[in-house]
Amino acid sequence: MTNKRASIVIDSETKEVFDWSMSKKGTRNFSEHIRKLLNRFHDTEDFSQLLKEARKSKLFCEKHKKPFTLICKDCEVALCPDCNINLHQTHQVQFFCNIHEVGYQTTCMLCERDRWEGIVDVPLLNAVELKEKWELGNIIFIDVRGDSEWKEGYLPNSYHIKWIDIRLKNTDGHKILEDLIKEHRDKQWIFISQGSSRHPGKPARAWLAAADIKTMYHINEVACLEGGWSNFHLKFPDIIEYPNDSNHKLESRRS
Of 168-207, which residues contact Zn ion (CB under 5 A)? none
Q: Using CB under 5 A, which of 71, 78, 103, 110 touches Zn ion?
A: 110
Among 91, 115, 169, 187, binds Zn ion (CB under 5 A): 91
Distance CA 244, CA 255 (A): 17
Residue 194 neighbours by CB under 8 Å, 6+ apart: 145, 146, 149, 203, 205, 228, 229, 230
Q: How far apart are CA 165 and CA 203, in angstroms?
A: 17
Choosing from 99, 128, 234, 250, the residue that interacts with Zn ion (CB under 5 A) is: 99
For residues 11 and 5, what is the distance between their CA atoms, to the nearest angstrom? 19
Task: Answer yes or no: are the C-beta atoms of 74 and 54 closer than 8 Å.
Answer: no
Is 94 in contact with 73 (CB distance < 8 Å)?
yes
- Residue with Cβ nearer Zn ion (108 or 130): 108
Q: Which helix (H) or strand (E) holds 96?
A: strand 93-97
22 vs 59 by CB, closer to Zn ion? 59
Please calculate the CA angle 211-212-216 and round it to the nearest 5 degrees. 120
Q: Which stretch in 6-14, 61-69, 166-174, 189-197 sits in contact with Zn ion by CB under 5 A?
A: 61-69
In the bound state with Zn ion, the residue whose beta carbon lies nearer, of 86 and 170, is: 86
Smallest distance from Zn ion to CB 75, Å: 3
Q: Which stretch binds Zn ion (CB under 5 A): 7-15, 85-93, 130-138, 169-177?
A: 85-93
Q: Which of 22, 61, 139, 164 binds Zn ion (CB under 5 A)?
A: 61
Residue 68 vs 189, nearer CB to Zn ion = 68
Q: What's the rounded Cα separation, in Å, for the pair 2 and 74?
A: 18
Number of residues that bind Zn ion (CB under 5 A): 17
With respect to Zn ion, which residue has the nearer C-beta, 58 or 131? Answer: 58
Give residue 147's identity as a one-letter amino acid code: D
Which residues lie below 8 Å from residue 31, measured CB to CB, with a gap of 6+? none
What is the DSSP-derived secondary structure letter of residue 72?
E
74 binds Zn ion (CB under 5 A): yes
List residues binding Zn ion (CB under 5 A).
61, 63-64, 72, 74-75, 80, 82-83, 88, 91, 97, 99-100, 108, 110-111
